[in-house]
Chain A
Amino acid sequence: MGVQAYRAPRSIPEAVSLLSSEAGAFALGGGTDLLVQQRSGARQPGSFIDLKRIPGMLGIEQLPSLWRIGAATACGEVASHPGLRSELPGLVEAAGLIGSKQVQGRASLGGNLCNASPAADSVPALVANRAVLVVAGPEGERRIAAECLTLGPGRTVLGRGEFVCAIEIPRPAARQSDAYLRFIPRTEMDIAVVGAAASLRVDEGGRCIAARIALGAVAPTVLTSPEADAALTGSMLEPEAIAACVAIAQAACSPISDRRGTAEFRRHVAGVLLRRVILAASQRLAKEG
């Protein structure tokens, strides 16, 4: 257990430089995963680089074509934002499920992404909504699709000195909505055994013209399936189309058995939840009229 340093850079270049140069430097957002991992001995950071003082890391911005959420913005803020609540209700549901109310006061979407847990609640919702991550690093800024961030449990594509500074989510078109559900044995304070998100867009006649589903905790990284999406696209979201989408997605799952659930259980529940989120998103569209 080394002695840790705590640093709070005020700019992106300063943060990149500290993350690049300090031995064992870890980017710190809300710390709801990192500090717990450090205390349990799972990770032994040499220093904490707190990103919250950097302009742009906190806050939610509505731009003409997208929402820009600072990567360290607390999930509680995301979950209570009126604009996000109306445009991205599924993402808001996911952000409002992480940990507990207290944890949501600290936990961030950036942290939820970079902790790279297959069970992260916000990730399927971000992926279903085609979120793009703005990554800062020694080579400057780059953008990567949310589903491309993680390589496996605890592993990301981020290089030394890189960190996610913002999440950009395209603003939904007319007649587009989303939903997120997760399965836990309790009602809160738990980690998803399965998570499912869907974003749907329909035409004026109710025909699905764009669909994207994403599943959590059923594979080493968030699971997407263009084939499953395609089963919905062009349909009237009738039960047969949903069943076809679910079957394709279930077949693509490669869950593990662990203390939170068996592979068999996860695969089954993934199908149930996926059907339910598709129905939930389509009901939202129906309400919109």
Chain B
Amino acid sequence: MTHAPHIPVVGSRPQRPDGADKVTGRARYGADLSLPGMVWGAVLRSPHAHARILSIDTSAALALPGVLAVLTSADMAANFSADVAAGESHIDLQDMSRNVLAREKVLYHGHAVAAVAATSQRLAKEALKAIQVEYAPLPVVLDLDAAMHPDAPVLHPGMFTRGLPETPSVASNIASRLVMQKGNVDEGFAEAEVVMERTYTCASAHQGYIEPHACLASAGADGQIDLWCCTQGHFAVRSYTAALLGLDPASIRVTASEIGGGFGGKTTVYLEPLAVALSRKCGRPVKMQMSREEVFRATGPGSATRITVKVGARRDGTLIAMDALMEYEAGAFKGSPAGAGAMTIFTSYSAPHQRAVALDVVVNKPKVAAYRAPGAPQAAHATECLLNELAAELGIDPLDLRCRNAVTNGTPTVYGATLRNIGLQECLDAARVHPHWSAPLGPNQGRGLAVGFWFNHGAQSSASVHLVEGGKLLVQEGNPDIGGSRASMALMAADTLGIPYADVHPVVADTASVGYSDMTGGSRVTYATGYAVIEACRELVERLKSRAATVWGVEPSQVEWRDGVAIDGRDPSRSMSIAELAALSGRMDGPLSGQGSVNLKSAAPSFAVNIADVEVDPETGASRVLRFTAIQDAGRAIHPDFVEGQLQGGAVQGIGWALNEEYRFDANGVMENPGFLDYRMPVASDLPMIDTVIVEVPWPDHPFGVRGVGETPICAPIAAVASALNAAAGTTIREVPLSPPRVLAAIMAKD
């Protein structure tokens, strides 16, 4: 019997399994689930950016008809035995608890102070007005200089700067100081023929996910809890919620809804512990959802930063020394991505002497959250813009400058790892031959080039595969699908088993239905969860071979698995299909399944090169991105559509950050633009088609060569756009965003 050979599907572009649901509106997002008896939760938020809470009186609210429960920080666990692991980042539960519900102080305007559950949304909002909170307002700290001033009001009296040579005796708003270095920068600068030093700033930008946070919690009388929410990591939600409320994680079953964007911003909890606690109090399912205004006022944006970079080079453009002071706003609680910024800022370059000093600074603004390659876009903005300025100073082509100094395999990084199997040079080569790089420019137009780098992550993932009657495959994974990962899982499973893509049905399983998986973040899902799916499929193949061996009375090692078919190695005319083997389950050793659990300690680093063309209206400062090319090493593009989508999406977010997005606060720390009207993300008509080039330098540690692709795309665009705009306008603006008033002022100052 002969079988049609399996045509490999990895690298093809089939329809995503969740596509029809998403375009028809059938997909269910965070706010789409309701339950019988459900009531509504709402959050009381601070009207002050910094104040001591003197008292909270909830009695009047509780007395209102229809109000079933009121929650304050007194209801949260007070002591935490240990910090919980959270993939890439370290979580301080004391801070997380105080961010979810303020305890001694409110630390930003919009900080949650209390929550209620009532029988309608309207009643819940009415009840908030009935809660009496007495505040003692404190002076607010709204920027880096104010926070680091010796006489600055201290946000956290118990916070002493970590990472200093001597333990400080005075509390500070500088949470930590981190130094990353290799070589000796002083020696390096002494050797240099040209030294340039510039300071670059970026405003805080929100991830801008379209779906506001939403959840539905239902606590049973027996302590079993169901929680439905939009999140990038439902296992993390389980861990955090259990820890914050002092519950057993095994009693909480979290289901991740479809997710309308996250970009790092849905890797923490805001509403989820409140909904669970309210449901436990009132015995009814509690639904909560944020308004867009709440999303802006109380969820994490990316850090505002000030980065001073100094480079020393020879006249021929060879970089010798690179030094940076990186100051990152963390918002109200420590934990900005300053460290990640310091680890990425010079990684693309082979200068032997490198140092980055990173400060994590608290201010009276919402606590920052991860935002796509956290900390790296701001760092790349500084380094890449300075290199473009250096190229102009030395009269060297910016691309030549990169090629001369690009890191190569075997280069040790400041953070310890040695780079291997990287694709930076291949990306630079692709930029050089791309027609965009040599296309002519018109008047008032400029071009910018920038390199981006992100580490990517591996870590823990689980997957199960189950054979269904007829030979179809069910794949259970534990990662919310934020960028097309279900399709990628199905493609890798199909090729591992040798079955058609259409026969694979991937599902994002809840925390009670699949093994633990770290959150969807760090560009890790296609890599690590994909690896777990492959492992599970391989285990299934072994069981299929073993079953065929039993049928034929041979040793399993004598059975070959090829193109979705078991073949008797001694008599290749004898074979059994996956469907035939599945049909034997009831008569033989039961259902066929496979399990994969991995903890990948390494991941493939990823580089990108971006080219941007910008036109400026010199009379108004308005600008327009005319052309944008994103080139990136994807290792191996499992589903090229989604790789291109990541490249395009990252470019667009970077363009928005570069040109118009920024948090604006008044003198009291009240955000002035908490909506998409005045927080100006780009709309479709603002953008050109983002051109993409996928470079493929396979990563040898993954069966298909996968390299994470989700975060690197946002690293270079700010620098590429800023450099292009400055070239077009004849300016040297080093602040982001390059909004029209700022650009016009620079043009007029120049004239």
Q: Which residues of chain A have a CB within 8 Å of any CB of chain B?
A: 1, 40, 183, 185-191, 193, 258-262, 264-265, 268-269, 272
Contact = CB atoms under 8 A, between A and B. Distances in A.
A268 B126 contact: no
Interface in B648-701: 659-660, 664, 672-673, 676-678, 680, 682-683, 685-686
A178 B682 CA distance: 30
A188 B683 contact: yes
Contacts of B621: 265
Interface string B275-310: 000000000000000000100000000000000000
A79 B270 CA distance: 44
A272 B741 contact: no
Contacts of B619: 272
Contact of B677 (A183, A187, A190, A193): A190
A154 to B, nearest CB: 17
Contacts of B664: 259
B678 A189 contact: no
Given A187-B686, A189-B683, 13 more contacts: A1-B125, A183-B620, A185-B660, A185-B740, A186-B686, A187-B683, A190-B677, A259-B678, A261-B740, A265-B741, A268-B744, A268-B748, A272-B619
Contacts of B677: 189-191
B659 A260 contact: no
B741 A261 contact: yes
A189 B744 CA distance: 22
Contacts of B125: 1
Nearest to A266: B741
A187 B685 contact: yes
A185 B622 contact: yes
Contacts of B620: 183, 268-269, 272
5 contacts: A1-B125, A189-B677, A189-B683, A259-B664, A261-B740
Contacts of A1: 122, 125-126
Interface in B364-405: none
A262 B672 CA distance: 14
B513 interface: no
A257 B637 CA distance: 48
A262 B741 contact: yes
A186 B741 contact: no
Contacts of A258: 672
B591 to A, nearest CB: 50
B680 A185 contact: yes
Contacts of A268: 620, 744, 748
A168 B171 CA distance: 68
Contact of A186 (B122, B293, B680): B680
A183 B660 CA distance: 14
A193 B677 CA distance: 12
B739 interface: yes
A272 B622 CA distance: 12
Contacts of B683: 186-189
Contacts of B122: 1
B750 to A, nearest CB: 15
Contacts of B293: 40
A260 B678 contact: yes
A258 B677 CA distance: 14
Contacts of B680: 185-186, 190
A1 B121 CA distance: 11
A195 B407 CA distance: 51
Contacts of B686: 186-187
Given A259-B664, A259-B673, A265-B741, A186 B682 contact: yes
Contacts of A185: 622, 659-660, 680, 739-740
A105 to B, nearest CB: 17
